[in-house]
Structures are given as structure tokens and as C-alpha cells.
Amino acid sequence: MIVVFVVLVVSLLLLLWSADRFVEGSAAVAHHLGLSPLLIGMVIVGFGTSMPELLVSTMSAYQGNPNIALGNAYGSNISNIAIILGLTALITPLTIHSSVLKKELPLLLAVSLVASFQLQDGWLSRVDAIVLLGLFLAIMSWYIYEGFHKREDLLQNNMALELKTRRLPLKKGILYIAVGLPLLIGSARLLVWSAIKIAEHLGVSDILIGLTLVAIGTSLPELASSLMAGLKDEHDLAVGNILGSNLFNTLVVVGLAAIIKPMPVERIIFVRDIPVMIFLTLSLFVLGFGYRKPGRINRLEGALLLAIYGGYLFYLIKSS
């Protein structure tokens, strides 16, 4: 069994490393081909931070393990808010501007409710998947349209600076893609295999492994980027990174997994995990609300988010 745990850790590290190389290479090649920094930032880099979740869930669905596919997606959403935002706020309190409360959070809440509605019949069909992916395309189109029509776009400026300071030669960018993509696929398959073996050995459901070990592991890129953004006082980026990741997980990760293979949904996901995900999303409205000034998630509230995850984890283990 020690070998399986080693495989899990190694495959996770390979997954995260290869995802980083693949995204960096793709961004460099896109820049050389003349794509705008806004498109590179929103599409390539935005997809890239959630690439581990995407590959693990689609691979799980393809191999006939829907519990790991859904557990990874929804578990990542839960850990993104409770662990990553909680830990970031514990280290450096986060300011939340009203635009986030008025636009991004309601959007994420609405998408979460749509996902909940789809799961209530215990089945995710290809029609459900098309709805999810269609919503994502509509949202992305709107954001890209909005970005191009703004006089000043923070993401575009930051991305342009990043591409300028970390400019990769075209050949190196292609090499990163050529090395990163096969490693991404291979490490995702190993991660799914080792997660299933651990669940079998411990005698617990694969939902539990997907919601915890796999979900937290694949969320590490978001943890790193949010912590760094928080330490640099880039609070919008720290919060936006989490909201964007949750949106992507709910719409694209679950949508692509169900397109590949429509899947049954265990009742426990609908009655236990989805309510926790929606509750945490709603909690950001309360924690982030500031009367006549920007809201603020302070250290005490960060600790509260971590405590909520601790209680959720305890209940997961106890109920399994």
C-alpha cells in the first residue's frame, strides 16, 4: 500500500508541474501567433489553473468512476473557498470590492443552483453537459466582449507585462507543450488509479477520496496563486482566482466529464456536498459585505472558514 501512496504523491506532483509547463508553453506560443494578452489571460491561463481538475475528472468519467469525477470537481470548489480563501485571509486579510458582490458572486451562485437542479434526478446526461458548457461559453464571450470594450483592463495589462517579462522563445514554448501534455495525461491516469486503490484499501467510498485527497491536491495551483496574490496585496486577484476556478469546475470540468460519459449521481452528493458548496458561496456575501465601504474577510473569518472545512471533513469521515 505504501507504493500506491507514493504513486499518488508522485503523480500529483507531476500533474501540477506538467500543467504549469503546458500553460506557460501555450501562452508563449499564443503570444508568438499574435493573440491578445486578454485572450491569453482569460482562456489559456484561466483554463490552465484548473487543468488538473479537468483532466482528473474527465479521465475518471472515461474510466467509469463518476464518484471521483464529481467528488474532485465539487470538492475542489469547497476546498477553494474554505481552505484556500480561509488560509489566505488568515495570513493577510482580504478586501472584497462591491463589484465582486454584485457580479461575480451572484453569477457563481446562479451556476451552482443550476448544477444542483441538474443533479436532483440522480443522473447527468449529455443534455445537462451541453447546458453547462453553453453557459460557460456565454459567460466567457461576455467577459471577453467586456474586456475588449473597456478602456483600461487590469487583466490585460497584467498579462501583457507577464508575457513581456517572461518571454519564452517559440521553440521552447512548443517543447513545453510537447512535454507537458503527455505528462498531464499520464499523471492524471496514475492519480485516478492510485485514488481508487486507496479507497479500496481503506474500505471507504471513492466519493470520499475524490472530495478530499484528490480535490485538495488538484487545487494546489489555486492555493499557490491566491497566497501569492494575497501577500502582494492583490486581493481582487486572490478572490477572483477562486471564483473563476469554481465557475470553471462547475461548468467545464463537470460538463466535459458528462459529455465524455453520462454518469449516475449518488444521492449523497446532492444532499450533502452540493449544499455545503452553496452555503460557502453564500457565506462570501455575508463575510464580504461592507457597509458604505469595501468588504473585508479578516483573520477571524478566515479561521472560521477553515473551521467549517474541518467540521465538513469530520462529517465526511464519520458518515463514510
Q: For 28-33, what is the mean pLDDT?
A: 69
Query: Does the pLDDT at position 180 exceed 60?
Result: yes
- pLDDT at site 70: 93
CA distances from 85 to 20, 232, 293, 304, 307 (A): 21, 15, 20, 11, 12
Q: DSSP character for 168?
A: P
- pLDDT at site 100: 63
pLDDT tens, residue by residue, 47-60: 666 778 888 899 88
Round to whole Å and give the CA distance between 258 and 252.
10
What's the mean pLDDT when you consider all of the chain?
81
Instruction: For residue 6, give the nearest of 137, 14, 173 by alpha carbon.
Output: 14
pLDDT tens, residue by residue, 146-177: 666 665 555 455 555 555 566 667 777 778 77
Instruction: For residue 283, give the nearest of 249, 250, 309 by alpha carbon.
Output: 309
Strand partners of residue 295: 96
pLDDT tier for residue 305 given thresholds of 50, 70 and 90? very high
CA distances from 77 to 41, 82, 109, 216, 244 (A): 21, 9, 12, 10, 10
Phi/psi at 159 (5° precision): -65, -40
pLDDT tens, residue by residue, 212-254: 888 888 887 778 777 877 777 767 767 877 888 898 899 999 9
* 151 Cβ contact partners less than 8 Å away, ≥ 6 residues apart: none
- pLDDT at site 162: 56
- pLDDT at site 87: 92
In this structure, the number of other CB atoms found within 10 A of the CB of residue 43 comes to 17
* 62 Cβ contact partners less than 8 Å away, ≥ 6 residues apart: 260, 261
Q: For 289-316, what is the mean pLDDT?
A: 85
**Cell (9 digits) for 190:** 496514475
- pLDDT at site 290: 59
- pLDDT at site 292: 61
Residues in the chain: 320
**Exposed/middle/buried for residue 302 (C-beta within 10 Å: 0-12, 13-18, 19+):** buried
Share of the chain above pLDDT 70, in %: 82
**Cell (9 digits) for 2:** 505504501
- pLDDT at site 32: 67
**Annotation: CATH topology of 2-319:** A middle domain of Talin 1 (1.20.1420)
pLDDT tier for residue 42 given thresholds of 50, 70 and 90? low
Instruction: For residue 101, give the nearest of 249, 308, 297 by alpha carbon.
Output: 297
- pLDDT at site 44: 62
- pLDDT at site 28: 74
Ordered by start, the domain boundaries in the chain are 2-319
Query: Does the pLDDT at position 83 exceed 90?
Result: yes
pLDDT tier for residue 33 given thresholds of 50, 70 and 90? low
Q: For 118-138, what is the mean pLDDT?
A: 94
152 against 32, higher pLDDT: 32
23 against 54, higher pLDDT: 54
**Cell (9 digits) for 278:** 452553496
